[in-house]
Amino acid sequence: MTNRRQFIQSGLVFSTLPFTGLAAMKVAVASPEGPDLSLDNFVADRRYAESMAVALKLGSQGVPVVEISGDLTDLWINNYSRQWKRSPMTLAGVTGGDALFVLETLAPDFGMRVVHKQALDSPSLATTATTDDEAKVLSWIITPKSSAFALV
């Protein structure tokens, strides 16, 4: 598990990178010695090319990837509602604000919290969303509340 000191050091290492989805995930899951934060899942939103690019990269590094198309209903019913009852988990994603809103709202009831949320501003993101809130693309990380890991 990443401690606060290791995380701050890793943030300094990656602070010069442009804060795209992939850079955000690198800041979140890497330290100078290599990955320290073990992700249980990465949530990729098929609506956004950047999200799928990050998913491909993290998937090739062994991170389990789940894909959505904005709607979390199937993911919640078939996976997270059961898993979160057993124990909190660490997950990250690059999704629309609509998808994060649902997870962010449910997480505290299951002993988890959002420790990173960053709006991405990239012209390469193609969206089918229709409202401003839904069109926001965010990189995010949710960890157990008991975790010492948090962005400062």
pLDDT one-digit tens code per residue, 32-78: 444 456 889 999 999 999 999 999 999 999 999 999 999 999 999 99
Banded model confidence at residue 3, pLDDT cuts 50, 70, 90: very low
Q: How many CB atoms neighbour CB 19 within 10 A?
A: 16
What is the pLDDT, as a whole number, of residue 151? Answer: 52
What's the token pair of residue 132? 């401003």
User: Residues 6 or more apart from 25 whose CB is under 8 A from it?
Assistant: 42, 54, 57, 58, 92, 94, 139
Banded model confidence at residue 86, pLDDT cuts 50, 70, 90: very high
Say if residues 87 and 122 touch (Cβ distance below 8 Å): no
Banded model confidence at residue 142, pLDDT cuts 50, 70, 90: very high
Q: Does the pTM exceed 0.85?
A: no
Strand ranges, E, within 46-120 = 65-68, 91-96, 112-120
Measured in degrees and rounded to the nearest 5, phi and psi for residue 35 equal -60, 130
Length of the chain: 152
The Cα–Cα gap between 129 and 54 comes to 20
